[in-house]
Amino acid sequence: MSDEMDMEEGGTIKKFMFVNRKAPYGTIYALESLEVVLISAAFEQDVSLAFIDDGVYQLMKNINTDGIEMKSFSKTYRALEGYDIEKLYVERESLEARGLSEDDLVVDVQVVGAAEMADLMNEQDVVLSF
């Protein structure tokens, strides 16, 4: 226990990556993933988000959820910067496979190829996939 306290005081900083591979609204994973991301900001860790496969759909512009009576969390992605969460990686192959480009996304991101994404994942301490 004392070891843990020392680590806390020493300010352990780990690399956390949140991997998003699911589309929004059809299931709750995207929303609840975002809730963990926001909490993680309070722990001052090295946080990044990855959007792969259908996960890229989470970042679409022009989302309007009024007709399905769910709360839109589109704006939250734009608010991440205010929490010092600025590393948003979107996989190029996933965008292309869906006929999308960076211009279709609601927030500034870094578009990376699958090989670079694999490198980024590989260097993480903790990878949480939702």
Partner 1 sequence: MLHIVNKSPSERNSVDTCLGHAKDGSAVLLIEDAVYAATAGNMSEAKVKAAMPNVKVYALGPDLAARGMSARVLDGVNVVDYGGFVDLVAEHSNCQSWL
Partner 2 sequence: MKFGILVNEGPYQHQASDSAYLFAKACLAKGHEIFRVFFYHDGVNNASRLTVPPADDRHIVNRWSALAQEHNLDLVVCIAAAQRRGMMDDNEAKRQGKDASNIAPAFRISGLGQLVEAGIQCDRLVTFGD
Q: Which residue, among 48, 8, 41, 12, has the nearest Cα to 128 in the 3D structure?
A: 48
124 is a contact residue toward partner 1 (CB under 8 A): yes
Among 57, 77, 89, 130, binds partner 2 (CB under 8 A): 130
Residues 17 and 47: their CA atoms lie apart, in Å, by 6
From the list 118, 100, 104, 105, the residue with the least C-alpha distance to 50 is: 118
CB of 43 to partner 2, least distance (A): 5
Q: Is residue 69 within the footprint of partner 2 (CB under 8 A)?
A: no
- Give me the 88-117 binding string for partner 2, x by CB under 8 A, dash otherwise: ------------------------------
Q: End-to-end distance of the chain based on CA atoms, in angstroms?
A: 30
Residues near partner 1 (CB under 8 A) are 19, 21, 29, 52-53, 114, 117-119, 121-122, 124-127, 129-130
